[in-house]
Amino acid sequence: MRSPHHITAHPYTNRYISPYEELGRLDDGPLDEFLVEDLPDEQEEAEAQDDPWAPPNHRRSGRRRRRGRFAGLPLAMKAVVGIVVLAAFLTLADRWALLYAERRAADTLKSRLHLTAAPEVEIDGFPFLTQLADERLDSVKVTVPDVAAARVSLAQVTATARDVRLDTDGALSVRGADVPRLEGDVLLSFADLNRELGASQVTFTGEGHDRVRARGTLPVAGHNLRLRAEARILREGDSGIATHIGGMRLDIGDLATYRPGAHTSEGLHLSRQSVDRLAHEARKAKALLSIPSVVRRLGVPDSVVREALRNESKLSDLTGTPHFIRQAMRLNLIDLALDHPQILKLLGFDPALLDALPRLTRPVLADQLSLGFRLPEPPSGQLRLRDVRVEKDGIRVRLEGSGLAVGRK
């Protein structure tokens, strides 16, 4: 049995090997063998003969050998690693500065423009820090939601400014900016129109490239009248859009139709269903034919009227003729109500409704359905409309600007 201090002789060099040295050799892993260039056998034997034996310090030897091994890596590889790390750090710093600038710009625009929500700001171009140092930005895109415009809100305003020149006071302090050229897009959403003009329960839908159709109900004197109208969208100068409202019509159930205006086809008129019912409601037909002014407007000979009033069969024949139906539908009941309100009440009209309808003039209804707005006047430069068109989701307006200044008072 070997003693703890047994020393083994090397089979080739006749050099005695300490057990500590054996343990030190076992400590070297396979990766160490791969990374380290072994000394030649002759040089190793010479060093072993010159140095007296001493117990090895494995920890210090391991650190020394590792430093020697990594020191052997190629210098080009170290340079590449350093460049990659530096580039990653600079990119991260550039992106952080970009996000910070976008957030500061959004907060500033919210405060200066008195917006309810901060806009979304996107600064294009890379790297950002060199643009900031040069006090010039390639492109800045700003998206502002829910901008108040007269009676309605603009669902979204998107503007892209190019070649923006900054007025800075240090790298992190921007006093203002000059925008030589700007292109934008404004959306007037039908969903917002339906909500904001929803007191009348009217919905708007696109019809063609310049027309909007309005459908819904309008409360009048306790009655919900069915509303129909057409709006033509027009550009008004360089800074606004206007709506020309036409085809306005209020249906009072199937009793009558009201069209605001003073033309012959406008006013309050019986519907086709109401006139058809007169052929089966002798009492109402006789009351209508007993008014001489109505008979003259109907263009019915007096002899025919007298026979119809004496004979219900003749009355039914008269009220069923195409001529009588056409003429009866042309009667303006607003005029009739002034002299003979009891007749309209007999036909089924509410007196309160008859009082309220004449106040619904064309300008009043057109104002309730107006979709127009004007662009705000910028403090400097010009902001003007380029194109107006109706799309599926709303009215879209293209705009452009030049010589604008932002952030300066």
pLDDT digits (tens, 9 = 90+) for 46-80: 554 555 555 555 555 444 454 545 455 577 776 77
Of 198 and 118, which is predicted with more confidence? Answer: 118
pLDDT tens-place string over residues 19-33 = 545 545 544 444 444
Query: Beta 174-189 vs 202-206: how paired, if at all?
Result: unpaired
What is the reported pLDDT for 374?
Answer: 78
Cα–Cα nearest to 361, from 220, 203, 207, 231: 220
User: Per DSSP, what are the bridge partners of residue 232?
Assistant: 211, 244
Q: Compute φ and ψ for 41, nearest 5 degrees.
A: -60, -40
212 beta partners: 206, 231
Q: Is 238 a residue whose pLDDT tops 80?
A: yes
pLDDT digits (tens, 9 = 90+) for 143-174: 887 776 666 667 678 889 888 888 776 655 66
pLDDT, tens digit (0-9, with 9 covering 90-100), for 308-345:
999 989 999 999 999 999 999 999 888 888 888 888 88
Q: Between vectors from CA 161 to CA 155 and to CA 167, what angle results, nearest 5°?
A: 120
Q: What is the pLDDT of residue 272?
A: 93
Band of residue 363 on the pLDDT scale cut at 50, 70, 90: confident
Highest mean pLDDT out of 95-104, 112-121, 397-406: 397-406
So what's the pLDDT on residue 234?
86
How would residue 45 be classed by pLDDT, with cut points 50, 70 and 90?
Answer: low
- At 8, list the tokens: 């083994």
* Closest CA relative to residue 395, chosen from 189, 256, 193: 189
211-221 tens-digit pLDDT:
999 898 888 88
Instruction: Provide mean pLDDT across the span 391-403.
Output: 88
pLDDT of residue 198: 55
pLDDT(39) > 60: no
pLDDT at 21 (0 to 100): 55
CA torsion sign for 64, 70, 71, 72 is: positive
Q: Output DSSP code: residue 28.
A: -
pTM for this entry: 0.64
CA distance 356 to 359: 6
pLDDT at 152: 66
Distance, in Å, from the CA atom of 97 to the CA atom of 101, rounded to the nearest integer, reads 6
Whether the CB-CB separation of 248 and 368 falls below 8 Å is answered with no
Distance CA(219)–CA(69), nearest Å, equals: 91
Alpha helices for 260-301 (secondary structure H): 272-278, 282-289, 292-298
Give the Cα separation of 382 and 99 in Å (integer).
30
Percent of the chain topping pLDDT 90: 14
Top-confidence range, 80-84, 134-138, 302-306: 302-306
SS3 labels along 59-121: HHHHHHHHHHHHCCCCHHHHHHHHHHHHHHHHHHHHHHHHHHHHHHHHHHHHHHHCCCCCCEE
8 A C-beta contact, residue 203 and residue 214: yes
- When pLDDT is cut at 50, 70 and 90, the band that residue 3 belongs to is very low
Amino acid at position 31, single letter: L
